[in-house]
Amino acid sequence: MKGERFKKEILEPCAFLVRPMTGGDLEVVATIEAENSSPWAIGQLASELAQEGGWQFVAEASASGLVCGFVCGRSCVGEAELLKIAVGREHRRQGIAAQLVAHTLRSLAAQGVARCFLELRAGNLPALALYERFGFHRLGLRKDYYALPAEDAILMEKRVLADA
């Protein structure tokens, strides 16, 4: 077990690379997105690619080139919102989302973005743990913000430049 962890973390540190999303990624990104609640359709994902101030990255397996996860959001006058992050079910718990968030935060800091906001379903404990690990803190709760199923939203913020 210890040996396996060493192999994963030390010998294969670059199993995934993060790069900008392109139109050619949309089909696989839409498939990953469709596994989650309130998914965006491929058309919405495509329009994000054309969005002014938008940023979109994918995590790709270095060996196979397979896109395993993505993140997207928008920046405007020093503030950003992380809109979506998802990793394909079979690729979770391998550090892919952590790599996507780390890359996003570095990129936002390089653009001079001071604060990044996001919201998530209150019951989404994996995502909550992920964001807390990267220093996002809770700003508030939006009661019954989500539908199908109805659920509160937790609003979170991270001071990007202060922590860069």
Ligand X SMILES: CC(C)(COP(=O)(O)OP(=O)(O)OC[C@H]1O[C@@H](n2cnc3c(N)ncnc32)[C@H](O)[C@@H]1OP(=O)(O)O)[C@@H](O)C(=O)NCCC(=O)NCCS
Chain residues that interact with ligand X, rule: CB under 6 A: 36, 85-87, 92-98, 120, 124-127, 129-130, 133
Q: How far is the CB of 83 from ligand X (least distance, A)?
A: 9
Enter the DSSP assignment of 11.
I
**How far apart (Å, rounded) are the C-alpha atoms in residues 80 and 86?**
18
State the helix-helix crossing angle for 42-49 and 26-34, rounded to 10 degrees: 130
In the complex with ligand X, the residue whose CB is nearer, 70 or 160, is: 70
What is the maximum span of the chain, computed from C-alpha positions, in angstroms? 47
Q: How far is the CB of 118 from ligand X (least distance, A)?
A: 6
In the complex with ligand X, the residue whose CB is nearer, 63 or 77, is: 63
Q: How far is the CB of 153 from ligand X (least distance, A)?
A: 9
β-pairing, 115-121 with 137-146? Answer: unpaired
Contact 22, 31 (CB under 8 A): no
Catalytic residue among 60, 131, 146, 151: 131
Other C-beta atoms within 10 Å of 146: how many?
18
**How far apart (Å, rounded) are the C-alpha atoms in residues 31 and 70?**
11
In the complex with ligand X, the residue whose CB is nearer, 26 or 97, is: 97
Q: How far is the CB of 125 from ligand X (least distance, A)?
A: 6
Catalytic residue among 33, 48, 60, 119: 119
Active site residue 145: no
Active site residue 146: no
In the complex with ligand X, the residue whose CB is nearer, 92 or 115, is: 92
Could you list the active site residues? 119, 131
